Amino acid sequence: MSDQAIVEKLKAKFSSEVLNVVEFRGETTVTVNKEQIVEICTFMRDKFGFNLLCDLCGVDYMGTSPRFMVVYNLYNIATKKRIRIKAPVEEKNANIDTVSTVWGTANWHERECWDLMGIKFNNHPDLRRILMPADWEGHPLRKDYPVQGPDREPYQGRLS
């Protein structure tokens, strides 16, 4: 099934949830509302066979609203197809439902996203920091976290 057909079926099922569809370098990215992310992911897995969640991560678009995007890179082992789902998350009260019930592998990915990006995953079975020490303050991959370390001047933009 082509990416367009998948997107059409997704739109038919979740008409008010699909915000945007972009194709770039042959890869399809579908942006959806975060409210029904678990239902959408379950639909993608059961209906289109995206049985492997390759990767889950957060992206910080500081200065825009909503500030964060949670990105799901999906793969279908049977048809060897990829597709990407994104869900925007507001800065205030940054949270989204966990998809670890859909793919078990999301567990550690979501812990990492919480640890480094500070996005909370509702109903996550074990939402602890994973890479940083348990008593660490702040979320290092946020754009306002200085690359030099926590006690330095905040990031002011690129040098060149």
Partner 1 sequence: MAANTETMTINMGPQHPSTHGVLQLILELDGEIVVKATPHIGFLHRGIEKLSEHRTYHQTIPLTDRLDYLAPMSNNLGYVLAVEKLLGITDEIPERVQRIRVIMAELTRLKSHLVWLACHALDIGAMTVFLYCFRERECITDIYEKVSGARMTSNYFRVGGLAEDLPDGLEGDIRDFVESMPAHIEEYEGLLTGNKIWQKRTIGVGEISAEAAIDIGITGPALRASGVDWDLRRDNPYSGYEDYDFDVPVREGCDTFDRYKVRLDEMRQSTRIILQALDKLKPGPILADCPKVVLPAKQDVVNNIESLIHHFKIVTEGFKTEPGEIYQGVEAPKGELGFYLVADGSAYPFRMKIRPPSFVNLQGLPQMVEGKLLADVIAVIGTLDIVLGEIDR
From 11, 59, 91, 95, residue interacting with partner 1 (rule: CB under 8 A): 59
Strands 95-97 and 81-89: unpaired
From 14, 71, 91, 120, residue interacting with partner 1 (rule: CB under 8 A): 71
Could you give phi then psi for residue 129, rounded to 5 degrees?
Answer: -65, 150
Q: Are 126 and 107 in contact (CB under 8 A)?
A: yes
Is the peptide bond preceding residue 146 cis, with omega within 30 degrees of 0? Answer: no
Using CB under 8 A as the binding criterion, the count of chain residues that bind partner 1 stands at 37
Residue carrying structure tokens 């040098």: 159
Query: Please, which of residues 112-131 interact with partner 1 by CB under 8 A?
Result: 116, 129-131
Q: Are 86 and 30 in contact (CB under 8 A)?
A: yes
Q: How far is the CB of 16 from partner 1 (least distance, A)?
A: 24
Binding site for partner 1 (CB under 8 A): 24-25, 27, 29, 51-55, 57, 59-60, 71, 73, 75, 77, 80, 82, 84, 103-105, 107-109, 116, 129-133, 140-141, 145, 147, 158, 160
